[in-house]
Amino acid sequence: MRITVLNTGGTFNKRYNPIKGLLEVPFDSIALDKIVKSCHNVEFDIKNIVSKDSLEFTQEDRETILKEIQNSTSDKIIIIHGTDTVDLTAKFIEDKIDGKKIVFTGAMVPMSIDEVEATMNFSQAIGFLNAPIQNGIYLSMHGVVVEHSKLLKDRSVGQFLVKN
């Protein structure tokens, strides 16, 4: 199986910059590369695009993501995205894409601090794309993968919950 991965940054990728004393979104995919080297039955086409915290996303950033999806020859796509505005990006592309299975994922804690959440969310997305699913836009977070509008970030508890 071949999966295209669009890495847009977000907390998933953040690393501490000791010179600035800040967590920053890098322009590389070191966090993601660490996970995919353990996936022996999947080929990945990883593209680093945007590379910023999703709170800083602009309309142009969402257009860039949309164009990458539209230009991809793969019908299976994982998008690493910041959790604060993943809902806005998913909503933006939902009526502009046909014939693809897209799974957004990310993490509330940087992989550089704790590898578990990012690895679990990304691995869930891979497994989900391996299943016989319908084309659509999904979100993989905290133990579930569902249609993107059914999973919401609850800031009061710091996790994603399935919408009733």
Share of the chain above pLDDT 90, in %: 82
Q: d(Cα 50, Cα 127) in Å, to the nearest integer?
A: 25
Ranges 27-31, 64-68, 153-157, most confident? 64-68
Nearest one of 137, 148, 142 to 123, comparing CA atoms: 142
> 75 is written with which tokens?
């019908």
Give the burial string for 81-112 (b: 16+ CB within 10 Å, else e): bbbbbbbebbebbeeebeebbbbbbbbbebbb
Regarding predicted confidence, which is higher, 26 or 138?
Answer: 138
22-24 and 15-17 as β-strands: parallel, antiparallel, unpaired? Answer: antiparallel
Q: Identify the pLDDT of residue 83.
A: 94
> 7 is written with which tokens?
């890495």
> 28 is written with which tokens?
């590389």
Examine the pLDDT at 31 and tell me if it is beyond 90.
no
Examine the pLDDT at 60 and tell me if it is beyond 90.
yes
76-80 and 159-162 as β-strands: parallel, antiparallel, unpaired? Answer: unpaired
Question: Any bridge partners for residue 79, and if so which?
Answer: 6, 104
Q: What is the mean pLDDT of residues 44-67?
A: 96
Q: What is the mean pLDDT of residues 99-126?
A: 95
